[in-house]
Amino acid sequence: MKHPLRPRPRQKDPPIVSTPSSLPHRALVVGATGIAGSAVRDRLLVDGWPVTTLSRSAGAAVEGTTHVQADLRSATDLERALRDEHPTHVFFTAWSRQETEAANIDVNAGMLRDLLAALKHTRVEHVALMTGLKHYLGPFEAYAAGEMADTPFHEEEPRLPVNNFYYAQEDELWAAAARQGFAWSVHRAHTVVGHAVGNAMNMGSTIAVQATISREFNRPFIFPGSETQWNGVTDMTDAGLLADQMVWAASTPGVENQAYNIANGDIFRWRSMWPRLAAYFGVEPEGFVGEPRPLDTQMADAESEWRSIAEKYDLIEPDSTRLASWWHTDGDLGRNIEVMTDMSKSREAGFLGYRRTERSFTELFNRLRVERLIPGATEQPTRG
């Protein structure tokens, strides 16, 4: 049975805009402290782009970038901050979690609308927007609750009959493209594995914190999700691969004005992946047994336990809530449906990037160790 809510109507069909790249490229990355935005920023820097980042905070200095401080929820502040900026390409990866989907629509579609309006004084050539598979699954409050397309999901699937801030953001993107004459792309990622501190949706570091606590207190490493997720086939998205696709779509003639799925290209089952992640951390894996065992319950004492671990091993982040998002990983792994996405559209268009998901995890874990966010494999306590 379909969900009773009706979709937010589109203002018009997406525009087909041609904007030849006659200007020197200059990027504006919105959300550059997050998993996706930081990967986009780093990819652009490697490619030699001048990069400006925008966030509400002052932002840590990153070599090769300039930073603009502005409140994305304030049209006036965005106008002030961007009046002297002239990006040719905008990469929008920011979002703000709200209590209801109506509020998500109001805030997140509004942030994109106001940011693009604040750039109406300059010639923007391309805007790349990151969304996700909730485009096919529905928003948090109606997640996988109605009739959905079969997996793997394809970009041409019609919108679900439910209000969804991803739909609202697309509508704002298309309306601004029609007014301002820029090309666009939309990038629908599955669960993203990447590096960020203080991010609200971060399965990789969430698993790292769970496994570290399991090892420290000699507990099993318990899979928190459903039987369907434990046994079924799924995929994920490496943040670096997402960045590669966003830059490719923004800078390759002939592939613009499209929505693209983005996933690593491999598929796996958690019943095989979980023991391999456990082996990395040296903990005993425990799979699905009878019913889901959510992390929100498993990790009820995580804040105090993590503070003790951080002090013992001299880690730089004692606040577990800045590394782990139990609710988000519970949502992903608790689903009772198979979720994976088709990558044929962008492959046929020429994007052939690929990542092995297990390596996405282990490379992230290695980086977390190097940066003193989790203890090393054989590390001895520095205190206590």
Q: Which residue has the tokens 């970038």?
A: 65
Q: Averaged over 315-326, what is the pLDDT?
A: 96
Torsion sign (Cα): 70, 82, 35, 41: negative
Looking at residue 384, what is its pLDDT?
Answer: 52
pLDDT digits (tens, 9 = 90+) for 101-119: 999 999 999 999 999 999 9
Enumerate the active-site residues: 134, 166
In the structure, what pLDDT confidence band is assigned to residue 279 with cuts at 50, 70 and 90? Answer: very high
Looking at residue 263, what is its pLDDT?
Answer: 98
Looking at residue 10, what is its pLDDT?
Answer: 44
Q: Averaged over 338-342, what is the pLDDT?
A: 94
DSSP bridge pairs for 54: 30, 68
What percent of the chain is modeled with pLDDT above 90? 80
Rounded distance between C-alpha atoms, residue 299 and residue 135, angstroms: 30
What tokens were used for 296? 């929100």
pLDDT digits (tens, 9 = 90+) for 250-259: 999 999 999 9
In the structure, what pLDDT confidence band is assigned to residue 24 with cuts at 50, 70 and 90? Answer: confident
Order the strands of the 126-132 sheet from edge to edge: 65-69, 51-55, 27-30, 89-92, 126-132, 183-189, 258-262
Residues 92, 242 contacting (CB under 8 angstroms): no
Per residue, the 3-state secondary structure of 62-112, as one string, reads CCCEEEEECCCCCHHHHHHHHCCCCCCEEEECCCCCCCCHHHHHHHHHHHH
pLDDT digits (tens, 9 = 90+) for 210-268: 999 999 999 999 999 999 999 999 999 999 999 999 999 999 999 999 999 999 999 99
What percent of the chain is modeled with pLDDT above 70? 90
Helix count and strand count (H, E) for the chain: 15, 13
Looking at residue 9, what is its pLDDT?
Answer: 40
Q: Averaged over 33-54, what is the pLDDT?
A: 95
| DSSP sequence for 252-299 | STT--SEEEEE--B--EEHHHHHHHHHHHHT--EE--BSB---HHHHT
User: ∠ at Cα 246 (144, 339), nearest 5°?
Assistant: 20
Rounded distance between C-alpha atoms, residue 305 and residue 200, angstroms: 20
R_g (Cα) of the chain, nearest Å: 21
- CA 277 vs. chain centroid, Å, equals 21
Complete domains list, the chain, with CATH: 27-189 (3.40.50.720), 203-235+267-338+357-371 (no CATH)
Maximum distance among all Cα pairs of the chain, rounded to whole angstroms: 63
